Amino acid sequence: MNQRIQRILIGILSFTLYPSLCAESQDRQFYDAVRAEASGDLQLAASLYEEILLQHQSANLHANLGNIYYGLSDLGRAILHLRKSLLLNPDNRECRSSLASALKKSGLQAMPDRTNPLFAENLQILWGSSFAVLFWFGLLSLLWIFPWNIRSSSFWIYAVAWKASLFFLAWGWVECHQQGTLLKREVIVLSSPPSPSNPPEKIPLRRFASEDSDPNTMLTTGTSLLIDMNNAGNPRIHQSPDGTIWYLVRSLDGFDKGWLIEKEFRKIIE
Amino acid sequence: MNRNVFFFLACMMPCLVCLGNQALRVEARFEPSTISLTNITTYKVVVHGSQEPPVGSIPALPGLRFSPNPRTFRSASFINGVPSIRFELTFQVTPEREGTFDFPSWSMRVGKHTSTAPSARLNVLPPNQSDRIRQAAEKQQQQDLREAAFIELNCPRTFLYEGETTEAQISLFLWERLPVTRIEQIPTKTGVGISMTELGQPNEQRNLRLKNKTYTSYSWTVGLTGTMKGVQNFSLSSILRVRVKAQRNSPLQSPFFNDPFFGFGREQGLEVKTDNISMEVRPLPQKGRPENFNGAIGSFTFDTSVDKNRVSLGDPVRLTLKIKGKGNFSAMPAPELSLGPNFRSGPPAFHFDGASSTMYGGEQSFDYVITPLISGLLEIPTIEFSFFDPELETYETLHSSAHSVRVDPSDDWVKPEVLNTADNSGQTTRPTPSLFQTEQEPGQWVSRINIPDPLYSQLFWIINIIGFTLFVFLLFRKMRNKDPWLEKLKLKDKALQVRLKDCVKLTDRDGFYQSLKRMIRLRITMIFPKTNISALSTSELINLLHTQGFPPNVTDEISQLLHLCETKEYAGSDRSDESLDSLFSRARQIIRQIK
């Protein structure tokens, strides 16, 4: 009997401790990366961080990785990870100013505020929940306070005000959702890591999905682009005979459009 | 019963033993052994004495084509009281030339035994008259089907330059007698090297006479762009849904025509495909290519304008470049501006006005916002726009006219610092210092970056569940708390309505007035449940309705009707000349308003 209880207790303990043990492993790797960075081995630190990213992510990890890539003059990846860090922790002002510095250094315009902060993509739950609260509150009020008395003018005033508020909240919700959709389509242009003998290259935005096609424009690494979608909501891609997958992308302002290979960019939300 | 079964088995036992011991014998023959060239025959191999499939390979004979998958057939029978089992293999054979074919014997393995199929002879005669007629009929049928639905591509250009866009028209012609239920797939292109814009809504034309037939055509205007050099082959195909007869093996053979049950069968997909379309894509000539050529191909005119001639230092000026004509607008980048050190310009805003589906003909505007950096009378230099004209096969360069802008000095304007962009750093990059102090703690781990979505949020669904539950609860409660007194009055009201109608039918004026009076009073009782309506006079009732806000015309009507009813009841006289029908409809309209 005692042995059985012991086994059950060991089972429960191992079950409860397993996540924390796993968590410790990525924490340990993070500290190793921080030490490597402190000792000046940026390449090793970057590889350790990238290894953690295969399983887990955190705002601080992306911020540190952005910092390391900035140190390695790989501005595209620096911008990408700083953007990811800001998505996980939008209140990190230090990270925001770092991103502005990285963008300025790469010759790009500061991150445009696409919309009113009221309609930011992370406020979807607030808008959606407010909509649900108002919808049910209004419906129950109509049922409770104005029981079928549609002759009274106060009923109609109340109903119209309720509907107008619902429209406003639905509009806000849709705006937030659209911001989220745009963010899911957003990619950052990356080039091969630069070295002292190999300065950061520019990526051609080709007119056609072919290596020898003329470029529409040359893209600076770190540029934000949007993947073009077809009517079914899938990315517009083209597979060339050698198996290379090309994506049709356009600039944020929609003026530049062209084809990029899969390896020339990375999505912010993967 | 059991005894009978035993007796039957005892009788059958010798037969079953005989079956197992039957000697193997193989027959092989062509059925029929004489055919004409346009017909097919079968090569049949029969293995007597076994039901196991033979294993072996049939020798190839030039001039005869055997079907790869033979049909098999096993049988067991009694022939003249002797049990027999056999296995049949049947190949379909198609002759490719006339003559006599001696098919050689060949060996096969049946179970543990090896047997030999005997040789067989096939005579293939020249096609006779009926074969020729049938062949011609089949050919005609194929031709008819091809004429019943076909696709045409009308392209004004015989070749394209790489990157050139031209407008073409794809037309799908459907014979009016072809029972098309819908176009399942609009024409799509197969083949690389030429890109095609998406197809929009078709232009439908009916009753087109072509080749002595009447057609309906669906046309799409598309833009074709040559993307890869060389001779490019492509085809266009579309899939239609057509009704065909349900019976597959109809003697009439044609699924679409000459069928008496035509139009009542199942639906089937019919692919309509063009032959291979070849189009050459030529490279752009290098000779005479301007330096500022950036891929515009077509025939264009070019014009520029500014929105202001006089501004203060720091105020923006809108410079608009308009390119009009026909060409590859979809692949046309904005012309590069070289405005010199006096102006700073941002990226342009694009606007296309024209055929947006093909982006071929129209007007493309590029709006640049330029900012003067110094004061004085400044000149916006001329802007060049180069393009290749595929008709003339030459490069053209157009120049805009120069514009003068007077820039007044402004006190609060500070010249902006020009950013050090990465592209002008031709020198090697050096590791740059870090941006901020490295975070020492990892922070909160997440498995992936997500955008919060209410539909996956617990809070959202909890609110909805609570709201819905309360709604259902309130609704249920309301339904249970119905006032029984009011319900009783409603029942009475319905009964009185029926009685009123009966009175009209039977022209019972007394009953009509009584029912009407009771009904009006009943309706007023429903509005004022706490007032004893039966104790009030007509004038008091009308006053009561006035206080509730009923319009005067309604109260007047009610008053008139009640007076009529009372006159009939108390004085016994009917002073109204109105018929009961019109009185009923008038009363019904008034009663509807008493709510």
In a domain, B58, yes or no: yes
Phi, psi of B403 (to 5 degrees): -120, 140
In a domain, B89, yes or no: yes
Chain B residues within 8 A of A28 when measuring between CB atoms? none
Model confidence over B62-92: pLDDT tens digits?
A: 888 888 888 888 888 877 777 788 889 899 9
* Residue at which a domain ends, from B389, B408, B427: B408
For residues B239 and B162, state if they share a domain: yes
Average pLDDT, chain B: 81
* DSSP class per residue in B25-59: EEEEEEESSEEETTS-EEEEEEEET--SPPB--PP
In a domain, B269, yes or no: yes
Close Cβ partners of B407 (under 8 Å, ≥ 6 residues apart): B310, B311, B312, B313, B372, B374, B375, B376, B377, B378
For residues B553 and B588, state if they share a domain: yes
Q: Which of A70, A87, A88 sits opposite B432 (nearest CB)?
A: A70
Residue B227 belongs to domain with CATH number: 2.60.40
pLDDT at residue B423 is higher than 60: no
For residues B143 and B264, state if they share a domain: yes
Which of A60, A74, A189, A212 to mutate to test binding with chain B, by most B CBs within 10 Å of its CB? A60
User: Is B207:B314 a contact under the CB 8 Å cutoff?
Assistant: no
Q: Taken in order B429, B433, B436, B438, is the CA torsion positive or negative?
A: positive
For residues B112 and B38, state if they share a domain: yes
Model confidence over B189-242: pLDDT tens digits?
A: 888 888 888 888 888 888 888 888 889 999 999 888 888 888 888 999 999 888
In a domain, B441, yes or no: no
Instruction: Give how far B391 is from chain A: nearest CA, Å.
Output: 22
Residue B402 belongs to domain with CATH number: 2.60.40.740
In a domain, B461, yes or no: no
Structure confidence at residue B425 (pLDDT) = 41
Query: Dihedral angle at the C-alpha atoms of B340, B343, B344, B346, nearest 10 degrees?
Result: -100
pLDDT at residue B424 is higher than 50: no
Domain A190-267: CATH class, spelled out: mainly beta
Adjacent-strand bridge partners of B29: B44
In a domain, B454, yes or no: no
Q: Taken in order A111, A228, B223, B277, is the CA torsion positive or negative?
A: positive
For residues B109 and B146, state if they share a domain: no
pTM of the model: 0.41
Taking only residues 318 to 347 of chain B, the set having a beta carbon closer than 8 angstroms to any beta carbon of chain A reads 331, 333-334, 347
For residues B259 and B151, state if they share a domain: yes
In a domain, B288, yes or no: no
* Residue at which a domain ends, from B390, B408, B426: B408
Instruction: Give how far B226 is from chain A: nearest CA, Å.
Output: 10
For residues B98 and B175, state if they share a domain: no
Six-digit token string for B201 = 């809504």
Q: Which of A26, A71, A217 sits opposite B333 (nearest CB)?
A: A217
For residues B45 and B99, state if they share a domain: yes
Architecture of domain A2-105: Alpha Horseshoe (1.25)
Report which of residues B158 and A165 the model is more confident about: A165
Model confidence over A170-210: pLDDT tens digits?
A: 999 999 998 888 888 999 999 877 666 666 678 888 888 88
- CA A82 vs. chain centroid, Å, equals 10
For residues B215 and B163, state if they share a domain: yes
Between chains, do A67 and B448 touch, taking CB under 8 Å as contact?
no
Structure confidence at residue A115 (pLDDT) = 60
Residue at token pair 């682009």: A225
For residues B174 and B256, state if they share a domain: yes
The residue range of the domain holding B166 is 138-282
For residues B196 and B258, state if they share a domain: yes
Report the domain count for chain B: 4
In a domain, B478, yes or no: no
* Residue at which a domain ends, from B408, B424, B441: B408
Structure confidence at residue B422 (pLDDT) = 39
